[in-house]
């Protein structure tokens, strides 16, 4: 595999790119990671405990997420490879590659843990299903969704995940229209500030649950699968006309990708903000809202069973969609770094085990969600730093390498996220 990958190395896979609307989709699938049960728990708790104080954190996290997801998508479009594949070819030392894979795999499993538990809790709230059985059901449904991806390809899988995203949006935002937030409070929440250590911890939790390593790995793979270039094409294969056609194709794909990421982040950001505003307007000061079960009970008491049911349905869709995308990311991590591809469904069974064991041991679901976010914090630097570095290199992206301003913004966002995740780890581990 050649070390240098540039736009002229790619073949002309389409002489006439499809309509721009048809190019949308990968970011919406990756964006499901921003609506997983960990996000729900963090935003609900922030609103219930601190009202509108952390509105600015949700918005800032969404802006940073836009840049990070776009860089990931661009890597897949231009190189025709996912981030794990690029790293797998660059990490020549076998043990370095395996070590990187191990941390990425642990992060993917921690993500899966939160999502399976979220689905199990939702089934328990809706149908009083025992948590362990709910975990099995969530895992089984996710396997069905992955079968769609295996047999029908990327596009049908995207349609299913986007449909689940629509359910998530309705489920979590419906309550905001029933009991609207205070406009003055929302505006006040746009001013960056904290109130004590607890608010810092929650801010770090919100950002930790927002920027997830597996979403970065998955997005580059999703764009590659949909319309990435072929990295195995040699420069000798490209004529001047072919190079011009490919340049035009990539330019159009990147324009569509920016729209795709923008739409996905607007949806994800609106839903996360809606969850926080729902809690701030209706659950402020209510006891027990630091858990998903407690938040559901408080919504039932304060806004009625209909809004609470919408919330539980949204949580269930969140668990099902996000765990499917997480399993997809985990398979890509293994393939890209270890050059081993095992059946996606078989891998799904293996990653279910930790979540089912925790549910079987009757570990507090909320505690498990918090601990999963701590594990995710460890993985943030390993995904962000290589992503920003690779997309800034001309030998990787050729003419499509980041401009100086983009690279600087990526470095600032990465440094801030790493610092806040480090703060989250310190606060959780020290009990501050």
Query: Which DSSP string corresponds to 374-404?
Result: HHHHHHHHHHHHHHHHHHT-HHHHGGGSPPH
pLDDT at 4: 40
pLDDT at 432: 57
pLDDT at 277: 96
pLDDT at 395: 92
Series of mean pLDDT values for 10-residue runs along the chain (432 residues): 36 44 81 86 89 95 94 95 95 92 87 88 94 92 82 82 92 92 95 87 79 90 78 48 82 92 94 95 83 88 92 93 86 89 75 85 79 75 94 93 94 86 72 61
Distance, in Å, from the CA atom of 47 to the CA atom of 42, rounded to the nearest integer, reads 9
pLDDT at 235: 40
Distance, in Å, from the CA atom of 218 to the CA atom of 84, rounded to the nearest integer, reads 9
Max Cα separation, the chain? 69
* CB contact burial 143-166 (16+ within 10 A = b; e otherwise): bebbebbeeeebeebbebbbebbe
pLDDT at 431: 65
pLDDT at 228: 59
pLDDT at 272: 94
Nearest residue to 230 (alpha-carbon basis) of 397, 78, 341, 89: 78
pLDDT at 187: 96
Domains of the chain, residue spans = 7-109+154-288+359-430
């Amino acid at each position: 595999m050649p070390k240098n990958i540039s736009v002229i190395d790619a073949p002309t896979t389409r002489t006439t790119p499809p309509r721009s609307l048809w190019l949308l989709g990968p970011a919406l699938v990756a964006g499901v990671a921003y609506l997983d049960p960990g996000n729900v728990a963090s935003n609900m708790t922030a609103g219930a405990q601190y009202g509108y104080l952390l509105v600015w954190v949700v918005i800032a996290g969404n802006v940073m997420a836009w840049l990070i997801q776009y860089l990931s998508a661009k890597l897949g479009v231009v190189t025709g490879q996912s981030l794990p594949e690029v790293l797998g070819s660059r990490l020549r030392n076998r043990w370095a590659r395996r070590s990187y894979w191990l941390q990425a795999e642990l992060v993917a499993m921690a993500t899966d843990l939160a999502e399976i538990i979220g689905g199990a809790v939702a089934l328990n709230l809706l149908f009083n299903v025992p948590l362990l059985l709910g975990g099995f059901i969530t895992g089984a449904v996710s396997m069905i969704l992955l079968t769609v991806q295996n047999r029908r390809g990327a596009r049908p899988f995207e349609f299913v995940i986007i449909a689940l995203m629509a359910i998530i949006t309705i489920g979590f935002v419906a309550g905001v229209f029933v009991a609207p937030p205070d406009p003055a409070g929302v505006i006040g929440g746009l001013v960056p500030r904290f109130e004590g250590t607890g608010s810092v911890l929650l801010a770090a939790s919100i950002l930790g649950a927002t920027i997830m390593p597996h979403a970065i790995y998955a997005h580059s793979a999703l764009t590659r699968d949909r319309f990435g270039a072929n990295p195995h094409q040699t420069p000798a294969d490209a004529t001047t006309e072919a190079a011009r056609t490919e340049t035009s194709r990539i330019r159009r794909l990147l324009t569509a990708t920016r729209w795709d990421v923008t739409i996905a982040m607007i949806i994800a950001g609106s839903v996360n903000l809606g969850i926080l505003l729902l809690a701030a307007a209706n659950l402020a000061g209510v006891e027990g809202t630091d858990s998903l079960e407690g938040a559901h009970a408080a919504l039932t008491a304060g806004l009625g069973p209909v809004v609470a049911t919408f919330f539980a349905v949204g949580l269930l869709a969140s668990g099902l969609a996000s765990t499917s995308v997480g399993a997809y990311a985990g398979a890509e991590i293994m393939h890209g770094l270890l050059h081993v591809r095992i059946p996606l469904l078989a891998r799904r069974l293996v990653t279910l085990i930790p979540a089912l064991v925790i549910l079987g041991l009757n570990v507090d679901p909320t505690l498990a969600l918090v601990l999963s976010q701590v594990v995710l914090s460890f993985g943030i630097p390993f995904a962000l730093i290589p992503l920003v570095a690779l997309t800034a290199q001309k030998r990787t992206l050729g003419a499509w390498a980041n401009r100086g301003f983009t690279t600087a913004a990526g470095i600032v966002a990465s440094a801030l996220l790493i610092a806040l995740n480090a703060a989250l780890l310190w606060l959780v581990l020290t009990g501050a």
